Amino acid sequence: MNLDTELELWRDQWQASAEPPVLEDLSKRVARDSRMLRMMLLADILVTVVIGGAVIVYGIRNPRPATAILVAATWFFIAVAWFFALSNRRATWSPSASTTSAYLDLSIRRCRGNLRSVTFGMILYAVEMAFCLAWIFHETGVSRTLLITISIVTLVFGGFLFHYRKRKLADLAYLTNLQHELQPE
């Protein structure tokens, strides 16, 4: 075997093993998660415009102190949700480089952010429901149908969050194990 052929063979082997095959899976995952981040941002904007706009219209049509409280509380909840969403998504839009470790770090940051979102979502939902029930009770009285509906919605929402959290914990475990396996010793 001459030196040029042997050098060429070594170079091909080195280039073939430069990035683990995991990079392709991670890049697909990052691309999918990036699309989901954009959709969530769009959903946040839509909720702000629809709910925030509707409560302002309601406040203008019914100018009473109780309605002003509802408008203020709604916009307070929207502002808190935006603050959390923007701070939680910071540094999760794209990888710092096109390497396996950068894609892996980004995926782990996103996974941890999703777990924080579950906790935040549960707390925000509980606070909003407490406020809404108190406001409705003050304004009209709470009907049995409303309580049953809210109970069902709460159970469904809680079940979704439980399932989502469990899935994200499994994803995080997989990603952190992968990170440990790929680290040079």
pLDDT digits (tens, 9 = 90+) for 127-177: 999 999 999 989 888 788 988 999 999 999 999 999 999 999 999 999 999
Q: Could you state, in order of their start, the residue ranges of all structural domains in the chain?
A: 33-89, 91-185
Region of 62 please: left (phi>0), alpha (psi -120 to 50) or beta. Answer: beta
Read off φ and ψ for residue 14, nearest 5 degrees: -65, -45
Enter the pTM of the model: 0.81
pLDDT at residue number 26: 82
Q: Minimal CA–CA distance to 178: which of 119, 101, 117, 110?
A: 101
